[in-house]
Amino acid sequence: MRKFSHRIKNKEGLHARPAGALLTAAKQYACEINIIYKSKQVSLKSGVFALMALGLKYDEDISIQFNGIDEDEAFEQIQKLVIELL
């Protein structure tokens, strides 16, 4: 299992475009990828609306957890995207 934390730097928080990009990237991997925000946990593969329903806002902290056969590859790509988009 791998995990990283990130503070949202995008003034708009998580909106449709970055949610869609993260979803598309996550679906390329077999491992479980979960985003954890406050007391909520959602699969990064669950859909744009599920991700947006988390209500991720500017300057809030999130964690993303990877568990499975290709977690290392997923970790590298998703971490880069999160840093770039959020």
What are the catalytic residues?
15
Taking the C-alpha atoms of residue 55 and residue 32, their distance in angstroms, rounded to an integer, is 21
Residue with tokens 């209500």: 55
Query: For residue 57, what are its two tokens?
Result: 């806002």
DSSP 54: T
Taking the C-alpha atoms of residue 84 and residue 86, their distance in angstroms, rounded to an integer, is 6
